[in-house]
Amino acid sequence: MNHLLEIEDLRVTFNTRYGEVTALDSISMHVSAGETLGVVGESGCGKSITALSVMGLIPTPPGRIAGGAIRLNGEDLTRASESRMRAMRGSEMAMIFQEPMTSLNPVFTVGDQIAEAIMLHQNVSRDQALRDAVALLDRVGIPSPDARARDYPHQLSGGMRQRVMIAMAVSCRPKVLIADEPTTALDVTVQAQIFDLLNEIQRDFGSAIILITHDMGAISEMADRVAVMYAGRVIEEASADDVLDYPQHPYARGLISCIPALGKGDMPETLAEIPGVVPPLHLLGAGCAFADRCAHRTDRCTREKPLLATHGHHPAACHAVEENRI
């Protein structure tokens, strides 16, 4: 199967006061046109670094792509020039950032900012770009789009600002749309509206969507396939139904058990939790990064890093799964 975007053995490092630290450890994933790939994990797992790597936005220095490939329609983006990447951002791929107020310019109207993105990639006049911007605001469900186009970001609600970000991201119909926690700090009603909007845009444009989130509920609503990340590695990958119904890795099982709506049986009196936190990347040892938090660990887990392979229902990087102990 030809995949629209392929990430293969991607390794990203950063120079820090602790020396060179590996932020992404040989990760691989792919997404096809019209498909939604959910990338899930706690903060610090490497989800956003993966997105920034695809977009060519890793700050260099201190970061660098130390190995692997990122191919969009067969073109390796890790070898592309900065001018080539600037041309591709917006037209071939686009990103919806987590917090619109830090991504939108506070001194320009939202209409001007969308029009600028259109003029950057399309040979149209400013007047035409502004008309297109108004049409896009209408397209993403913002009422009175003519008036809202003249508003500044601080004059809009959080949900409207996120819709402006989506309008800007899809203004040139990119083939790949990366949504990095697109519903953070929005109430559940607005979250549902944003997800419906993304689904509608995907149906109309045929875009591939990479949904980055820590919310397994969002994964159940949106994703076709899921890559579970932990400490810079992909530790489980399968269809969304398989991961939700038959989680293999103890970390994936923990993420799902923390959400009563996705669990089995009656509502528990207390929420489940995964003990501990994601370890600092500079303190990772030779073994499994999840070992200190895992109830199934053995001496092998602390000595030997597990590889992503199919031992049970679908691929997982876990010695306990390999040895059929869980």
**Ordered mean pLDDT values, 10 residues apiece, the chain (326 residues):** 89 94 95 95 90 93 94 94 90 85 88 91 90 92 93 91 88 90 78 86 90 87 94 95 93 83 54 82 91 93 93 90 88
pLDDT for 103 equals 82
Residue showing tokens 């990772």: 284
pLDDT for 171 equals 86
Per DSSP, helices labelled H in the chain are: 47-55, 82-88, 100-103, 110-121, 126-139, 145-148, 158-169, 188-205, 216-222, 240-245, 250-257, 299-303, 319-322
Q: Pairing relation of β-strands 63-72 and 75-76? A: antiparallel
d(CA 72, CA 58): 17
Q: Choose among 191, 181, 214, 159: nearest CA to 43.
A: 214
C-alpha to C-alpha distances, 116 to 64, 103, 162, 167, 253, nearest whole angstrom: 29, 14, 18, 12, 45
d(CA 306, CA 239): 21
Count of C-beta atoms within a 10 Å radius of residue 245? 12
d(CA 230, CA 101): 28
Joined together, the tokens standing for residue 240 give 């969304």
Joined together, the tokens standing for residue 221 give 């609503």
Q: How many helices and strands (H and E) does the chain possess?
A: 13, 12
Write down all domains in the chain, each with its CATH number in brackets.
5-92+174-262 (3.40.50.300), 104-173 (no CATH)
Residues paired with residue 65 on neighbouring β-strands, in sequence order: 12
Q: What is the pTM of this model?
A: 0.89
pLDDT for 127 equals 93
pLDDT for 269 equals 58
